[in-house]
Amino acid sequence: MEITILGSGCGIPSLSHSAPGVLIRYHGAPFLIDSGCGTLVRLLKAGIHYTALNDIFYTHTHSDHSGDLAPLIQALRTTPGYQRTSPLRLYGPESFADFLRCLSQAYGAWITDPGFPFIIRELKQDLFKVGELQVSTRAMLHSNDAIGYRFDSPDGRAVVYSGDTDYSSEIIELAQSCDVLILECSFGETDKISGHLTPREAAEIAYQSNCQKLVLTHFYPPQDKLFLEIRSVIPQIYLGELIIAHDGLRIFL
């Protein structure tokens, strides 16, 4: 299993920490989680053509996590010489279908009727298979209907992605004994905002979940100040491997 952090930032423009997106590759199959603005270009840089995508998972519908969804659908239906016949499967939180209908009102009916097979699955607390991976979801403490994902492979590897969340028992449960926990860490302790994590909260989640590797992402500026706090606070609580994500970071399991 290979993980690529396509975007390690938030909705605020940055040259090193772009809008959220995570790519998981398992036996060559690509699985995309979230697609903030610029994700399609960063996918190409990671060696994945957008036409290879069949399964895309959304944690919630805020624009920094979904900004490239409409451009992706447009590219799949208008690329010269390419006619898609395989289904595009979109997974998202409850009300995700309503979100797409709202996009179709803004952009056109082709959003929900793109001319190729199109499947939407809404999730809250679910367990299902996608290819060889088992996918689990839990509600996160962020916007209405926000969810986090866990991907378990047949060889016993597990990757968890929180999306945006505040401290909650659900993310601890979802991440139990996983190999890699990709966890948001948006603000320092003195700048705490509801719906997002501080370094101390992220460390507590990593400790309580007993994850093997903690990858922090979704950074708000000023990032240098946040990174100093991460490096000083987290090792006091969580003794596993700590990684501060950057765009293009690759992790192999």
Average pLDDT of the segment spanning 26-34: 97
- pLDDT-derived band of residue 144, with 50, 70 and 90 as boundaries? confident
The answer to whether the CB of 215 falls within 8 A of the CB of 182 is: yes
Q: Could you give all domains of the chain from N- to C-terminal order, each with its CATH number?
A: 2-252 (3.60.15.10)
pLDDT, residue 168, reads 95
Determine what percent of the chain is predicted with pLDDT higher than 90: 98
Average pLDDT of the segment spanning 2-22: 96
pLDDT, residue 197, reads 98
- pLDDT-derived band of residue 34, with 50, 70 and 90 as boundaries? very high
Whether the pTM exceeds 0.85: the reply is yes
pLDDT, residue 146, reads 97
pLDDT, residue 60, reads 97
Taking all residues of the chain, what is their mean pLDDT, rounded to a whole number?
97
For CA atoms 211, 16, 48, 40, the dihedral sign is positive
Average pLDDT of the segment spanning 100-120: 96
Q: Which of 72, 73, 17 is nearest to 43 (CA)?
A: 72
Average pLDDT of the segment spanning 162-168: 97
Task: With a cut of 90, say whether residue 163 has pLDDT above it.
Answer: yes
Encode pLDDT of 172-222 as tens digits.
999 999 999 999 999 999 999 999 999 999 999 999 999 999 999 999 999
pLDDT, residue 187, reads 97
250 token code pair: 């690759």
Q: If you write DSSP's letter for every residue of 30-91 in order, what string do you get?
A: EEEE---TTHHHHHHHTT--GGG--EEE-S---HHHHTTHHHHHHHHHH-TT----SPEEEE
Dist CA 180 CA 211 (whole Å): 6
Task: With a cut of 90, say whether residue 100 has pLDDT above it.
Answer: yes
Total Cβ atoms within 10 A of residue 113: 11
The number of helices, as runs of H, and strands, as runs of E, in the chain is: 7, 14
Dist CA 114 CA 214 (whole Å): 38
- pLDDT-derived band of residue 143, with 50, 70 and 90 as boundaries? confident
